[in-house]
Homo-oligomer: A and B are copies of this chain.
């Protein structure tokens, strides 16, 4: 068992809601190297030879197992770029718990760029969770720029559940999904920005296969002087269904820009999007005030529920 220090333990608690343990299939990346790792009968993790990162092989026998691959950056001035590839065989059922936490107590920027590619075999069902978090009293920025590419084969199911909890100064998220026949995608994106943080999320979903469907839900809260830009894009190239929904709460002097693009290139593509930006519902605030909560407490409750 590798020794894990207290800062890292505390960050792991934030970014791995299932609870990180050194058992089953796991890989803990710490300040740019693999601190510890484990395989199982069905899931093998191999370090890449040619560059930073791992290849994760998930066999078709996998049913209900979890893979934990958290990343912790605890030094100031590090730029950690890592390439992780996931090969999920036909019929596998797996939950992948990723996530990155940065503790920056220095004056230099700390940055992690996770470039993830998922090859999802036919009928496989994958749940991918990713939490982003920053902390530390330093003036150096905490920067996270994830790139996610998902290639979905026939009748596969992929659930992408991402959350940026707090403390991330700057993030630029690029997501691209190619969907085969009958493939089903569920995306839930949750984002909270505060102070002078900025967040950009671009997502291109290609519904190429007949019967493919995508459900994208984005919820965000922008506080302070932070700014957010969402640009989810659904391209319907076949008989398909897509529904994009973006809801944002804007507070203080924050700015939110939402640009959901729907692009129907096939007569049987049915695509819907909805987006709304507004301040906290004042009726909800008043109701909670009457229950004795202060303005601040009431706001906190509403935001927590909105992002729950």
Contacts and interface: CB of A to CB of B under 8 A. Distances in A.
Interface in A252-281: 252-279
A248 interface: yes
A151 interface: no
Interface residues of A, number: 32
B257 A262 contact: yes
Given A261-B259, A276-B272, A267 B248 contact: no
A255 B279 CA distance: 35
Contacts of A236: 277
A147 interface: no
Nearest to A268: B279
Nearest to A234: B277
Identical subunits present = 2
A250 interface: yes
Contact of A274 (B257, B268, B274): B274
Main DSSP-derived SS at the A contact region = strand
Contacts of A274: 272-275
A187 interface: no
A251 interface: yes
Contacts of A270: 276-279
Interface string A225-263: 000000000001000000000001011111111111111
25 contacts: A236-B277, A250-B264, A250-B266, A250-B269, A255-B263, A255-B264, A258-B263, A258-B273, A259-B259, A259-B260, A259-B261, A259-B262, A260-B275, A262-B275, A264-B277, A267-B279, A268-B279, A269-B277, A269-B278, A271-B276, A271-B278, A272-B275, A272-B276, A273-B275, A273-B276
Interface of A: 236, 248, 250-279
